[in-house]
């Protein structure tokens, strides 16, 4: 009795490797998004703490100017983090589409293998 060999096995292995690579890249993008969101939250908390401390204490003009400048720097950093997060979200959407395509390709090859395996078994049973 001969053994079934799928002639597109190497193609399937390559497709699986591409799918795993795309999934790892997606996970990495998700990790970056999480880190940047945490950083953005820290900046928001720092801005709120700065504003609360400015209202609680009496300050002279130079301290208020310094805090105002620091507040504007924190706001700029907050905007930059938001832009980075938006870019990463766009990248994430593209990567999700890529993972879906690669998963479909792998499923198609698996279905083709099942069809070939079924035909192989049918031929073997006819030969007996």
Q: What is the pLDDT of residues 55-107, one digit of tens each?
A: 777 878 888 888 889 999 999 999 999 999 999 999 999 999 999 999 999 99
What is the chain's mean pLDDT, rounded? 92
CA distance 77 to 36: 11
Alpha helix segments (H runs only) across the chain: 9-56, 61-127
Quote the pLDDT of residue 1.
58
Q: Is the pLDDT of residue 54 over 80?
A: no
């Amino acid at each position: 009795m001969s053994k079934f060999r799928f002639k597109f096995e190497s193609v399937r292995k390559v497709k699986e490797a591409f799918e795993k690579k795309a999934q790892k890249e997606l996970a990495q993008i998700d990790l970056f998004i999480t880190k940047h969101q945490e950083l953005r939250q820290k900046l928001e908390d720092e801005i709120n703490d700065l504003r609360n401390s400015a209202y609680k204490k009496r300050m002279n003009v130079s301290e208020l100017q310094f805090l105002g400048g620091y507040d504007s720097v924190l706001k700029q950093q907050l905007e930059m983090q938001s832009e980075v997060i938006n870019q990463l979200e766009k990248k994430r959407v593209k990567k999700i589409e890529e993972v879906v395509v690669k998963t479909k390709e792998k499923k198609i090859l698996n279905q083709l293998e099942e069809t070939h395996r079924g035909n192989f078994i049918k031929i073997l049973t006819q030969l007996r």
